[in-house]
Chains A and B, each alone.
Chain A
Amino acid sequence: MSIVTVQLGQCGNQIGFEVFDALFSDSHCPQGLCSKRENEAYQASCKERFFSEEENGVPIARAVLVDMEPKVINQTLSKAAHSGRWKYDQHSCFCQKQGSGNNWAYGYSVHGPRHKESIMDLIQKEVEKCDSLSGFFIIMSMAGGTGSGLGAFVTQNLQDQYSNSLKMNQIIWPYGTGEVIVQNYNSILTLSHLYRSSDALLVHENDAIHKICAKLMNIKQISFRDINQVLAHQLGSVFQPTYSGEGSWHYRRNPLGIDWQVRPPLSGLPTLSKMSTNKEFHFNTSIANLVILRGKDVHSADVGAFKDPALYTSWLEPVHAFSVWKTQRAFSKYEKSAALVSNSQFLVKPLDVTVGKAWNMFASKAYIHQYTKFGIEEEDFLDSFTLLEQVIASYCNL
């Protein structure tokens, strides 16, 4: 079951490279801490998922690279080819000569429709190379120009054309004190559009990863490369093969993703069952948690603490909300590693802050003309605000 990755914009392409590199290095890591047969199965599964075979034996990443400028794509292509271990397909790239100036509307309404056929063709070619398509993984930033607007457009088209396939978007949450002044507008537009067409949104905050680099890894001068590598490491430990309860090597996704909507209760009807209000202050309530364990002693690991019902909403039993994936094969030379993927209230605060800032700007109509110039009207903004407020309310009411 193969996954086709779509790397969008500068952010998407740089991260995408690191992810493939991390996956490849891990799968060819000699010290797997498991039997040879196990290691071979692991390698084969990783390879089938993310790489396709070429005549001279160099694996080719199952990826489509898209950017409006040629610089980053060329860098990415050459970095991969230079390593000699794996590479990208030269033909699976799409770029233009000019950028989009961090304008979401330009990316969504102009670049998107103009280049839709070429991009979808490239994706179709990658899909045809797969024996069986498991889904799409789209890497993009939330607040930039190309990545975000075009990414939203591309995801929508994937939803239309491949409605039966799963799509997961990896979005990069910008620094709170970011440089792009309209980043909050871009964020809310991206999120609201992706909410409608994607199956799952996997969020990484730049601020959070920055803290990891500074505090846990003690890096003095944190570059984007460091951040991307941490991110890739995290993603790799989630994406590499594991055994799930129902059989081996499924590509699993959190089914509870963001396409979960709740309408405000109609007045006059009894409200939903009460939850103790102090819960929200003490616990971060989750809809679902997934723990992935790799390496030594996985079978004896105790994950009982994750099954505490207090961690989860009242309408879902921990047995449904919590899953564990395990494999003895160690990841990337770490003797033991664990990763947690969580669909919880963790993101409510950053989302609320972003929406609040965007709303304040919108109230004074600042910079709106940049968007209306290219077809994103005020109604679209209002729709986005409504949707995101609903999401925030739903998560708060967990």
Chain B
Amino acid sequence: MGRRRRCRVGPEDATRALPEAIAALSRTLPVGPSPEIFRRAKFDCPEAAPALWRLLFRVLSPGPADGASASLSLEAQARWVKSALHSQGYPSRALAQLPDNGSQGSRQLLLALAWLLARGPLLEQLLAQGRVRLGDEMPVCECEALANPGPPAPGVEEVSGVDVRHLQWLMGKLRFRWRNLMASQQEQCALLGQIHLYTRGCHSNRSLGHLSVTETELLRDPEGGRQLLQRLESENARLEAALEWRRRQLVFWRWMDTVLGACPPEATFLPRIHEPGARALEPVARELHALREQLRGAVEARRAAGAAGAGDRRPEWSAARRALRQAVGQDLAALQRAWERGGGLTQPHGPHRLVRMEAGAPRGPGLRAPEVIEALRTQEAHLEAVLRRLQGQCRRELARLARALPGLIWIPPPGR
């Protein structure tokens, strides 16, 4: 299916438009199923279900696909997809009731996919995830990782009773791995610094000035260069498919309406959305507006009543009110700061390319390392304060429990 310029839409073009639209969608998605699968899904054919389960799993998992999550059984993937959709607020109960073995429900899965596509910039996110990165990149925030915990590691099962020593052992193991990670990261930083230093002046882009690891490897190893070229070409193909999808998607949405029509009616499903976004939300918006007006009216009435009845005590009242307003303002500001994980970073989140600059060089676009370090230190201090507070709570709770049992000697562990 290549791109073709259409001068006019003829009758046979109309019948081809839908499969081509779906094909474009499929090429944009990772592990996209064929248009035939989509067609079968409309009629709820069971053989289309596994491919759609796998697609949803891939689409909903954060980060690039790795061997561990790909090796999860279909059943585990299906279970995870259900919980992920639920946590994203997917309204249909029918999907939650599908069997775990992944053998049924292709129509429901198709609807879920359409819901995800309509809801947000899903394709853009997927394309951004799979981008070929030429520079040495480093994340400056944890937003992505925190917002979307990935699928469970394979082999993790529910155990009824766990020996607390096993937990302690796991904690020790975790701490050990953490420290190994720190040591490796420090080594990586040192080596990156050396590479950036040695390749100064080699880059054609003056604002970057030096090569990244990928670019250095490109120069040293022609085979690597060929592979990089292949990856870039396949990324290009996906981007072109995405553009084609953008042009053709109307046909797809009209078809999705028919899919929705083919479903048995269900009380918990939201009303049909003809176009992503617009008309169905209007009554809701109107209601919201009406409520807001009511609230405003009520507040005004209250204020008038309060002011009228407190005439003689006005000076103290206004002072008290000012103090109160100040306190509330401070609380809100503190709350906002606590919620703002960036601690003041105004630049966009996500990974940034590392560029080593000379001391006196003019400042380019992007973040500077000292600013990022400062922001991270603020976050660290905040998290440490929270940790200490929680530890204190825990200790007090344990002490309270110990006091409740007479004849018990409480030996706290030696401090670490």
CB pair A256 B169 closer than 8 Å: yes
B187 touches A255 (CB 8 A): no
Q: How far is the CB of A198 from chain B (nearest CB, A)?
A: 11
Asked if B413 is an interface residue, CB under 8 A from chain A, the answer is yes
Partner of B172, one of A165, A259, A314: A259
A245 at the interface (CB under 8 A from B): no
A259 to B179, CA, bound (A): 15
User: Quick one: CB contact mask for A183-214 with B, threshold 8 Å, 1 for yes?
Assistant: 00000000010011001000000000000000
In Å, the complex CA distance between A253 and B165 comes to: 20
Stretch with Cβ within 8 A of B (4 or more), from A230-238, A266-274, A303-311, A327-335: A266-274
Which residues of B in the span 289-308 have a Cβ within 8 Å of any Cβ on A? none
Q: A164: which B residues are within 8 A, CB to CB?
A: 179, 182-183
- Which residues of B from 150 to 180 have beta carbons under 8 Å from A? 161, 163-166, 168-169, 172-173, 175-176, 179-180
Cβ of B173: which chain A residues have Cβ within 8 Å of it? Answer: 255-256
Alpha-carbon gap, A354 to B187, bound state (A): 42
Query: In the complex, what distance in Å separates the CA atom of A61 from the CA atom of B10?
Result: 82
Q: How far does the alpha carbon of A323 sit from the alpha carbon of B246 in the complex, in Å?
A: 54
What chain A residues lie within 8 Å of B161 (beta carbons)? 273
- Expressed in whole angstroms, the minimum distance between the Cβ of A45 and any Cβ of chain B is 14
Which residues from B are CB-within-8-Å of A339? none
Q: Is the interface of A mostly helix, strand, loop or mixed?
A: loop
Asked whether A175 is an interface residue with its Cβ less than 8 Å from the other chain, the reply is: no
Q: Do A1 and B172 have beta carbons less than 8 Å apart? A: no
Is B169 within 8 A of A260, CB to CB?
yes
Tell me if B414 counts as interface (CB < 8 A to partner A).
yes
* Interchain CA distance A255-B173 in the complex, whole Å: 6
Which residues in A have their C-beta under 8 angstroms from that of B411? 263-264, 386, 390
Nearest chain B CB to A130 CB, angstrom units = 9
Q: Give CA–CA (A255, B174) in the complex, Å.
A: 9
* Residue of B165, B183, B414 touching A134 (CB-CB under 8 A): B183
A131 in complex: contacting residue of B163, B190, B407, CB < 8 Å = B190
CA gap between A131 and B191 in the complex, in Å? 8
Whether the Cβ atoms of B165 and A132 lie closer than 8 Å is no
Asked if B169 contacts A316 (CB within 8 A), the reply is yes
Interface: A166 (CB within 8 A): yes
Could you tell me which residues of chain B, from 362 to 389, have a CB within 8 Å of some CB in chain A?
none
A109 within 8 A of B: no
Q: Assess whether B186 is interfacial by the CB under 8 Å rule.
A: yes
Q: Which listed residue, A133, A195, A314, touches B414 by the CB 8 Å rule?
A: A195
Q: Are A131 and B405 in contact (CB under 8 A)?
A: no
A262–B165 CB distance below 8 A: yes
Once the chains are docked, how many angstroms separate the CA of A333 from the CA of B359? 54
Tally B residues with Cβ within 8 Å of A: 29
The reply to whether A383 and B169 form a contact with Cβ atoms under 8 Å apart is no
Q: Evaluate contact between B408 and A266: CB separation under 8 angstroms.
A: yes
Report yes or no: A268 in contact with B405, Cβ–Cβ below 8 A: yes
- Cβ proximity bits B121-161 to A, threshold 8 Å, 1 near / 0 not: 00000000000000000000000000000000000000001
Asked whether A315 lies within 8 Å of B187 as measured between CB atoms, the reply is: no
Asked if B264 is at the interface of the complex by the 8 Å CB criterion, the answer is: no
A314 x B163 contact (CB < 8 A):
yes
A260-B169, A266-B408, A315-B165 given; A196·B415 CB < 8 A: yes
Residues on the B chain within 8 Å of A259, using CB: 172, 416
Closest Cβ of chain A to B154, distance in Å, is 15
Q: Which residue of A lies closest to B416 (CB)?
A: A196
A199: nearest chain-B partner, CB-CB? B176
Please tell me if A90 contacts chain B, counting CB pairs below 8 Å: no
CA distance A314 to B165 in the complex (A): 10
Q: With the chains together, A134 CA to B184 CA distance in Å?
A: 9
Q: Report chain A residues within 8 Å CB of B186.
A: 132-133
Q: Which residues of A contact B184 (CB under 8 A)?
A: 132
Taking CB atoms, residues of chain A closer than 8 Å to B402 are: 266
What residues on A are CB-neighbors of B165 within 8 Å?
Answer: 260, 262, 272, 313, 315
Q: For A268, what are the chain B residues with a Cβ–Cβ distance below 8 Å?
A: 405
26 example contacts (A-B, Cβ-Cβ < 8 A) are as follows A1-B187, A131-B190, A132-B183, A133-B186, A134-B183, A135-B183, A164-B179, A166-B176, A192-B414, A196-B416, A199-B176, A255-B172, A256-B169, A256-B173, A260-B165, A260-B169, A261-B168, A261-B414, A262-B164, A262-B168, A263-B413, A266-B408, A267-B405, A267-B407, A313-B165, A316-B166
Q: A196-B414, A261-B413 known; 19 other A-B pairs, CB under 8 Å?
A: A131-B187, A132-B186, A132-B190, A134-B183, A165-B183, A166-B176, A196-B415, A255-B173, A256-B169, A259-B172, A260-B168, A267-B408, A272-B164, A287-B169, A314-B163, A315-B163, A316-B166, A316-B169, A386-B411
The 7 closest A-B CB pairs, nearest first, are A132-B187, A315-B163, A255-B176, A315-B166, A164-B182, A196-B414, A315-B165
Please list the residues of chain A having a beta carbon within 8 angstroms of any beta carbon in chain B: 1, 131-135, 164-166, 192, 195-196, 199, 250, 253, 255-257, 259-264, 266-268, 272-273, 287, 313-316, 383, 386-387, 390
